[in-house]
Amino acid sequence: MDSELSSEVVVVGGGVIGLTTAVVLAERGRRVRVWTRDPVERTTSAVAGALWWPYRIRPVAAARAWALRSLDVYEELAADPDRTGVRMVEGVLGEEELDDGFGWLTARLPGLRPVTAEEYDGTGLWARLPLVDMAAHLPWLRRRFVEAGGVVETRTVSDLADVDAAVVVNCTGLGARELVADTSMVPVRGQLVEVENPGIRTWVVSTGADGEMAYFFPQPGRLLLGGTAVEGEWSTEPDPAVAEAIVRRCAALRPEIAGARVLGHRVGLRPARDAVRLERELLPGERVLVHNYGHGGAGVTVAWGCAEEAAGLATT
């Protein structure tokens, strides 16, 4: 192995999981490079609506611990929202009740309470949660990483065994399906519509009687409308009929959305797996490989907790 590279860590994958893991490692004094196939602005993470909430992620106990640690970090970052892209915003978790297994959150989120009739038509919880503007947050993560001495390189990896570094961290999301032959990785397609914000300051996540989701998140300069969760669908092309249905469902919650000017469309593929793969193995030559992927729709929610655990596995 090249002695110049022997002490380095290479993080493969430049989405929110990869960048956050790289930041933690670099700030702990490691020499770190991120190898990413796409610029951070074109990763799946860039499409995320990015409300902090443990959505579609297992194992449950570990995910809750990762989410709570990440919540601590996001609350700190929300002190400087223009720079970090993180804000604490109030909103409604529709069709949820406090007795539905939220005991782990009630102490941590003292403001979590049932909605009033004026706030939501039906059962739901009112909460103040981190809402992350990925258009600002991903570039900020990259800057923080570079300021800590890290290097970002645009590179495509076909075999992790070929990465010439003492430690390799696999944060490739759906890419792990091919890279490490993990056929348990499946896409869960999500489509969003960006519209001009007609003055909405709170978010809503709702599920209709037909099982269809509707949510809207106020982000700087726009309102994000969603959404879908179609398992096994690989297409990243926006579907006009789906977009119309998304606007219709959101307008049923807030009528002023119906007349909002459409600014754009987004499609992302959530990297879903039965459970997050966060573990360490050895490569030939006493090199270490750490896997950190399979976060489904909760990558932002658990990013910092997973990054710290992955960094620990990488340095022990």
pLDDT at 107 over 90: no
Over residues 144-153, the pLDDT tens digits come to 999 999 999 9
Paired strand residues for 6: none
More confident residue, 258 or 102: 258
Residue 116 has pLDDT above 90, yes or no: yes
Mean pLDDT (the chain, rounded): 94
Distance of CA 125 to CAs 22, 84, 90, 91, 303, Å?
A: 35, 27, 10, 8, 24
State the pLDDT at residue 6. Answer: 52
pLDDT of residue 1: 43
**Is pLDDT at 234 greater than 70 in this prediction?**
yes
Give the mean pLDDT of 48-57.
88
pLDDT of res. 39: 81
Q: Which ranges constitute the DSSP H helices of the chain?
A: 16-27, 60-77, 81-84, 103-106, 134-147, 176-179, 240-253, 299-315
Q: What is the pLDDT of residue 3?
A: 41
8 A C-beta contact, residue 163 and residue 283: no
Least confident window among 128-132, 208-212, 253-257? 208-212
* Mean pLDDT to the nearest integer, 116-142: 96
Taking alpha carbons only, the member of 192, 191, 193, 174 closest to residue 183 is 174
- pTM, two decimals, is 0.95
Local confidence band at 284 (pLDDT 50, 70, 90 cut-offs): confident
Least confident of 102-111, 190-199, 200-209, 295-304: 102-111
- pLDDT value at 131 more than 70: yes
Q: Which pLDDT score is estimated for 176?
A: 97
| Mean per-residue pLDDT, 241-254 | 97
* Backbone phi, psi, residue 231, to 5°: -75, 135
Q: Give Dmax (Cα) for the chain.
A: 66
Strand, helix or coil at 286?
coil
Mean pLDDT across 60-73: 97
45 pLDDT band, cuts 50/70/90, is confident
